[in-house]
Amino acid sequence: MFDARLFRESAESVTAQLEHQLADASIRGLELIDPDILDRAARGLMTPERDRIAAFDEKRLAAIVDLYVRTGIQVHSPGYLGRQFSGVVPLAGIVDFVGSVVNQPSSFYEAGQLPNVAERIMAEELNRFIGWEPESFAMVTTSGGSLANLTALLAARNKRFPDYWSQGGGALAGRSRPAIAVGADVHYSVSRAAGVMGIGDEQLVRLPLDREQRICLDRARGALEDAERRGLEVFCLVASAGTTSVGAFDPIDGLADLAREKGLWLHVDGAHGASLLVSDELRGKLAGIAKADSLTWDAHKMMFVPAPCTLLFYRDRRDAPGAFRQQASYVFDDKPDAYTALDSGDKNFECTKRPMIMPLWALWSIHGRALFAEKIEYLCRLTADIHTILLDEPDFEPLHRPEANILCFRHLPAGLAESDVHRLQLDIRNRLKRQGNFFISKVDIDGVAALRVVLMNHRITTEHFRMLLGEIRRAGYDLRHRANGRETGSDSE
């Protein structure tokens, strides 16, 4: 099973299957299969041998790969417009494959030397667009934006309440309850992190939004002062650079000034939108980012590398070890040297961590910044173009002007009652998920469902979007026709 020649033959076989997948430019939605049917298919691919090692079966491997590829979202198809993770640059997948085979965990330099050096290099490269002092900041990689947000919030809490790590809630005796200020549309990972930290939902200060779904700077101050009157001690303000719902960018510059005035840590959840920093054309969306204390940046979203690959930046490198305060002689050295200085195990939650930086560093090394900037700029221009298309369609309503590559809208055919708008959007999305050529998502805006597209694939054009609108119209017509048939008692099936 460890034979080098068998490895090469297997890799070539699987690569040929993936080549076919990448070359397929057809419009494919989601092939949603009943879980019981898929369960039977998966079990049918398992060897019946139980007592001895079964011989390698090339056909069995090919069938496993085919089922794997076919039953997931088709991220390389123009029909994929539904989520914020993208089809990877194929070369990044190859480097990730290398990482899986050589298996070098990257939390400690001795285990993964090049990944740790690559982290330092990419931190320096990307900080050129953030703007912190070169010798003062720090960056660690984490497995996903949710974990990065939790880590940053822990660092912020422990800085404000230094004894909390060792004493728990007892460190708060005589003090106000700790609280975190967030936009009303903040990603659920932030509220989940607060729960993990023992900060109840009632101690999340939800800052009001403006018409563009961004934190309203004019009203944020009043919300913070009201929280103080309620006995809350806000220690961190979380801003979003590209909200999950609509892709909105909070006014980071103004919020940073407010946070500094109030003595708050400013964390920016830029999981989706921080990648715009590499674009000269789009960098202004994150104006003021150099004033932030920490930044979450998901490279597996708009940098088009395999998930997970999240970068957590700190403006002050001295804050990086503050999230976790532990000693463990089997991994942490009492006397750091030139090698252990690159360890990140004391700064991130994971002890065993994938060398997730390697695909990003390899792409950056081979192709440079322009690869990322040009694709991001195309996707954002395309989203602006489809917004213009929607403005000219009388039966569609765009719900915001897109700031990046996320756009929400509703299908509103003539005669649709206001009470039926919510249900129709949900039914259309579910119909497309089960039967359509396109995979889109949905979100509630102001309590009413909306259709949501996220443009992550450079193969998508405005023509594809027009095809999607046609599919939505057909689904909407069919759903309303069936509903009207049921209301009149006719047989609409």
Tens of pLDDT along 87-105? 899 999 999 999 999 998 8
Q: Check residues 73 and 450 and name the one with the higher pLDDT.
A: 450
Which residue stretches of 71-112 are H helix? Answer: 90-102
Architecture of domain 104-367: 3-Layer(aba) Sandwich (3.40)
What is the C-alpha to C-alpha distance for residues 431 and 441, in angstroms, rounded to an integer?
12
Q: What pLDDT does residue 462 have?
A: 97
Buried (b) or exposed (e) across 74-87, using 16+ Cβ within 10 A?
A: bbbbbbbbbbbbbb
Mean pLDDT of 441-448: 94
Is the predicted pLDDT of residue 331 greater than 50, yes or no?
A: no
Sheet containing 441-445: give its strands across. 396-398, 406-411, 448-454, 441-445
What is the C-alpha to C-alpha distance for residues 152 and 157, in angstroms, rounded to an integer?
9
Tens of pLDDT along 160-203? 998 888 788 777 877 888 999 999 988 888 989 888 888 888 89
Model confidence band, residue 327 (pLDDT cutoffs 50, 70, 90)? low
- What's the distance, CA 7 to chain centroid? 33
Q: Model-level pTM?
A: 0.92
Fold topology of 370-487: Aspartate Aminotransferase, domain 1 (3.90.1150)
Model confidence band, residue 342 (pLDDT cutoffs 50, 70, 90)? confident
- The full set of domain ranges for the chain reads 104-367, 370-487
Q: What pLDDT does residue 369 have?
A: 97
Stretch among 164-178, 208-222, 283-297, 333-347 having the lowest mean pLDDT? 333-347
Task: List the structure tokens of 197.
Answer: 């930290």
Mean pLDDT of 342-347: 73
Tens of pLDDT along 126-143? 999 999 999 999 999 999
Tens of pLDDT along 388-443? 999 999 999 999 999 999 999 999 999 999 999 999 999 999 999 988 799 999 99
Helix, coil or strand: residue 264: coil
Mean pLDDT of 245-272: 97
Q: What pLDDT does residue 405 have?
A: 97
Is the predicted pLDDT of residue 491 greater than 50, yes or no?
A: no
